[in-house]
Amino acid sequence: MADKTLLRINNLNVEYYTNKGILGGKSTIHAVNGISLDIYKGEILAIAGESGCGKSTLAKALIRLEPAKSGEIYFDSKNILTLMGNDLKEFRKKAQMVFQNPYASLNPKMKIVDILKEPLEINTDYSPEKILETVKEKIRLVGLDESCLELYPHEFSGGQRQRIAIARALVLNPEFILADEPVSALDVSIQAQIINLIKELNKNFGLTFLLITHDVSVIKYLADRIAVMYLGEIVESGKTEDIFQTPLHPYTKALLSSAPQLNKTGKKITLKGDLPSPAELPQGCKFHTRCPYVMEKCKTNIPQGKGITHKVKCFLYE
């Protein structure tokens, strides 16, 4: 593994099962399909894609909140899918998650000080004084005053709650933070504050972020690299500037055209049909049912992918 790689995903597959309803039986949902991807130390990597593409399932699998069916995920050269006991506990200290909804992710019955103390009490042997000192340090780091520690979550705005959620993710000094749609539940007027906080934490402390979002503007501002996901696969990945300058995959072009302020052509590309169900994946290229450039071979053959730093899975480039 290259020195700069913090997390390496090899051929990861995640499936789960849902009831078929009145017909009975179970459907297999193929949420993540053979994903291989490196996340580099100190970068912000964005996973982009529409709702239902599997990006949140991928995120949860990376920190063992969702079981993987097969594949490997290396963090600091250890396959985290095989970790148990203390090794798993150590990994969980290093990899933290910030959830989409700061209203649901903070226990309404606990004071902020207790919410922030909890991970330290469970995972460290710090003295009570050191725990309180750490909590105060992190709450200041996210731009809040120590006086807020004695209050309850309902006494804060959505933006302040998301700052508190980020402080909780920081108390164990993680190396990697997974942020799942961190601003989509917030008013547009305060989204920029949280976006800037993530950028500062990345720049000032070298924290590595995996950003899960459907918001192309947030990606453009924050991410160093992008991986575009469609039906559980990465169809294109590369540096943010390259992908915005020269998107290659037809799905990436459509996705980027959905942000009018970033769309150089001014034309929005509307895809036909809806995202197919991950319970019934199309044969061949999974995008072929909606692709404006579909060829006969796309319906039966799977593109293998081309490129080194800017990679794309599409027969137009093979």
Residues in contact with ligand SF4 by the rule CB under 6 A: 249-250, 285, 287-288, 291, 293-295, 298, 303, 314-316
Angle at which helix 158-170 crosses helix 188-205, to 10 degrees, equals 20
Instruction: Please choose, from the candidates 2, 27, 22, the residue with its C-alpha nearest in 3D space to the C-alpha of residue 277.
Output: 27
Residue with Cβ nearer ligand SF4 (192 or 294) = 294
Q: How far is the CB of 278 from ligand SF4 (least distance, A)?
A: 17
140: its two tokens: 């200041």
Give min distance, CB of 298 to ligand SF4, in A: 3
CB of 257 to ligand SF4, least distance (A): 15
- Which candidate, 216, 180, 300, 234, places its Cα nearest to that of 53? 234
Are 214 and 228 in contact by the 8 Å Cβ rule? The answer is no
Compute the least distance from the CB of residue 316 to ligand SF4, in Å: 5
Of 215 and 233, which CB lies nearer to ligand SF4 in the complex structure?
Answer: 233
Are 316 and 239 in contact by the 8 Å Cβ rule? The answer is no
Query: Which CB sits closer to ligand SF4, 141 or 254?
Result: 254
Joined together, the tokens standing for residue 183 give: 């601003």
Which lies closer to ligand SF4 via its Cβ, residue 275 or residue 316? 316
Q: Judged by CB, which is closer to ligand SF4: 71, or 303?
A: 303
Q: Which CB sits closer to ligand SF4, 3 or 296?
A: 296
Q: How far is the CB of 27 from ligand SF4 (least distance, A)?
A: 24
SS3 73: strand
Burial of 245 (0-12, 13-18, 19+ CB in 10 A): exposed
In what helix (H) or strand (E) does residue 36 lie, and over which residues does it extend?
A: strand 26-40
Closest approach of ligand SF4 to the CB of residue 288, in Å: 4
Question: At 151, which helix (H) or strand (E)?
Answer: none
* Cβ-based nearer residue to ligand SF4, 122 or 295: 295
> How, if at all, do strands 208-213 and 176-180 pair?
parallel
Q: Give me the least distance between CB of 156 and ligand SF4, in Å please.
A: 45
Judge whether 11 and 36 are in contact, CB under 8 Å.
Answer: yes
